[in-house]
DNA sequence: CTGTATACTTGATATCCGTCAAGTCATCCT
DNA sequence: AGGATGACTTGACGGATATCAAGTATACAG
């Protein structure tokens, strides 16, 4: 109706059906026929450069986000002002599921590099989830595995040595790159040593030392943020070594 | 119709509307009118004595559980055979939300004392959640805060000293007892020192030492599993002490 | 290009907590 | 009651990792 071109604002509505991540992301839970209803709700295209804030803890929580490109870290700040990195999110992953309860975001989210996201308004998603059983189911699954992975992380922090933690992180990143059909053995770390240390409950210096130790042992080849995994099997061994020795 | 008494098998259907926990548990999310639909689905009355298994990791997951009485611990076992206590669940709390994804339970659950639970079959709950918006919403909230609390726990493990961890646990238990209108300052620990240690990523000996240190400082009065909190405010200070010193 | 801030690495020292060992206490079963 | 088993406590010691300190490399702004 009128002004066919002038009225078309910058594309906001998502185009899930032609997104390269549709097989990894939310659309996988929705039939071809219903994908349009998803697209009606999702706001696409917000983009952030390195270091920018996507949302901040205790800001009013309205949306979850699907990562389209780049990488994100989430952090929480406790009452004493300490910051803790709670997770890293890569393309195809959904972030912010912890913020559905309460009214405000439970963490802050920052772009680690040039990053774009799709926004999933929580209230709209809840309504749609009631209409699309597979979508509701998928949300329950996503949240459930978020609980699981954060329990696994707690376990890593409470029971494992510095070497095991770092080996685990490298392997986790590796398999998440592989999922996206990228090389599982050669990639750039999207985050700084500092973030790794914080995430793993270690000091930066320890991360640095372990990385060079791994390098000397021929496990990896690392220069700055460029990493090459030279011996994945041995890394997997390391991720279990100490626990094994005990038994 | 017919056989009015002979056919009434032992009561399995739940009676949420007359449960003393209904204000804390699932029913809070459901209007008076719909509570019967909840009762149709929930299986009440399974009961376990101390040490018994409620479900085991990697067993087929069919249900979540609401704790009616007693106390439960959940544990996960990693590939190297180490056991990690991931949580304690008290009356009014929902357990097993981490097991919705995947087909099998993500953890094992054991009764810490004489315990009774109500069983929430996952598939039925999903169907009902689609019909009762407030129920769906509540489930999302529950799962979301489960993510949050397990992130908080990870933070506790990675950044806090033994004293801080133990103070935090005592305070957490305290407020959960208070929620049930029990004394927040005088209660019995439902779990062994061993479980506390494991949950907090410490050695039993450390837990023991810190407890006696707290006792000597006049913070608590503890004999075995009986605990009295003598100075809650100071305990809250302790739960933050070290972090504060750093800044 | 040049300087400066930031990221990263490496070394020396300190410390919290785990491990080992032994002892005390509580509980349970016959 | 009595013995045994497990739960808890207490002490001595060592080790993994944090902290402190300094140096090197990288990134970025002008």
pLDDT in single tens digits along all 247 residues of chain A = 444 444 334 456 778 998 999 999 998 999 889 999 999 999 987 899 999 999 999 999 999 999 999 999 999 998 778 899 999 999 999 999 999 988 899 999 999 999 999 999 999 999 999 999 999 999 999 999 999 999 999 999 999 999 999 999 999 999 999 999 999 999 999 999 999 999 999 999 999 999 999 999 999 999 999 999 999 999 999 998 644 433 3
Element housing B26 (H / E): none
| Contact check, Cβ <8 Å, B97/A157 | no
Query: Are A14 and A88 in the same domain?
Result: yes
Contact A142 B84 (CB under 8 A): no
CB of B225 lies under 7 Å from some atom of strand D: yes
Give the tokens for residue B201.
Answer: 């990523």
| CA A82 to C1' C16, whole Å | 20
- Tell whether A198 is covered by a domain: yes
pLDDT higher than 60, residue B18: yes
Question: What does the buried/exposed string (b/e) look like for B105-144 if buried means 16 or more CB atoms within 10 Å of the residue's CB?
Answer: bbbbbbbbbebbbbbbebebbbebbbebeebbbbbbebbb
Task: Report the residue count for chain B.
Answer: 247
B211 touches strand D (CB under 7 A): yes
Verify that A21 and A128 share a domain, yes or no: yes
Are A142 and A94 in contact by the 8 Å Cβ rule? The answer is: yes
Helix, strand, or coil here: A184? coil
> What is the least distance, in Å, from the CA of A92 to any CA of chain B?
18
* Cross-chain residue pair A155–B84, CB shorter than 8 Å: yes
Q: Tell me: do B166 and B125 sit in the same domain.
A: no
Q: Which of A158, A200, A245 to mutate to test the interface with B (most CBs of B within 10 A)?
A: A158
Of A150, A168, A186, at which residue does a domain stop? A150
Domain-ending residue, one of B106, B124, B150? B150
Q: Which of B133, B140, B195 to mutate to test the interface with A (most CBs of A within 10 A)?
A: B140
pLDDT (tens digit per residue) in B183-237: 999 999 999 999 999 999 999 999 999 999 999 999 999 999 999 999 999 999 9
pLDDT digits (tens, 9 = 90+) for B108-129: 999 999 999 999 999 999 999 9
The dihedrals phi and psi of A75, each to the nearest 5 degrees, come to -135, 150
Structural domain that includes position A226 = 160-246
Looking at the structure, tell me whether residues A139 and A183 fall in a common domain. no
User: What is the count of structural domains for chain A?
Assistant: 2
Verify if strand D has an atom below 7 Å from the CB of A168. Answer: no
Which one, of B149, B109, B135, lies nearest residue B42 by Cα?
Answer: B135
B14 is a domain residue = yes
> Are residues B141 and B22 part of one domain?
yes
Residue B120 lies in a domain: yes
**CATH code at A17?**
2.60.120.10
Residues of B in contact with A108 (CB under 8 A): none
Minimal C-alpha gap between B231 and chain A (Å)? 20
Looking at CA atoms only, how far is residue B183 from chain A in angstroms? 26
Chosen domain end from B121, B150, B179: B150
Q: Are both A105 and A194 inside the same structural domain?
A: no
Residue A12 is predicted with a pLDDT of: 67
d(CA B8, CA B18): 19
């Amino acid at each position: 109706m009128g002004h066919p071109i002038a009225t078309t604002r910058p594309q906001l509505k998502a185009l899930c059906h032609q997104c390269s991540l549709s097989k990894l992301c939310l659309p996988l839970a929705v039939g071809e026929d219903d994908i349009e209803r998803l697209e009606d709700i999702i706001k696409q295209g917000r983009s952030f450069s390195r270091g920018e804030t996507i949302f901040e803890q205790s800001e009013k929580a309205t949306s979850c986000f699907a990562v389209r490109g780049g990488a994100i870290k989430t952090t929480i700040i406790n009452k004493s002002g300490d910051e803790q990195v709670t997770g890293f999110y890569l393309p195809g992953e959904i972030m912010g599921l912890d913020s559905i309860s309460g009214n405000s975001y439970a963490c802050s989210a920052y772009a680690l590099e040039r990053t774009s996201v799709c926004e999933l308004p929580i209230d709209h998603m809840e309504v749609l989830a009631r209409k699309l059983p597979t979508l509701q189911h998928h949300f329950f699954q996503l949240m459930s595995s978020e609980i699981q992975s954060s329990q696994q992380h707690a376990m890593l922090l409470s029971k494992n040595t510095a070497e095991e933690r770092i080996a685990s992180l490298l392997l986790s990143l590796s398999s998440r790159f592989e999922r996206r059909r990228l090389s599982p053995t050669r990639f750039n770390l999207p985050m700084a040593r500092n973030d790794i240390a914080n995430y793993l409950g270690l000091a930066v210096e320890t991360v640095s030392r372990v990385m060079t130790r791994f390098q000397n042992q021929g496990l990896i080849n690392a220069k700055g943020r460029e990493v090459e995994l030279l011996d994945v099997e041995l890394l997997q061994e390391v991720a279990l070594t100490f626990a094994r020795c005990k038994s």
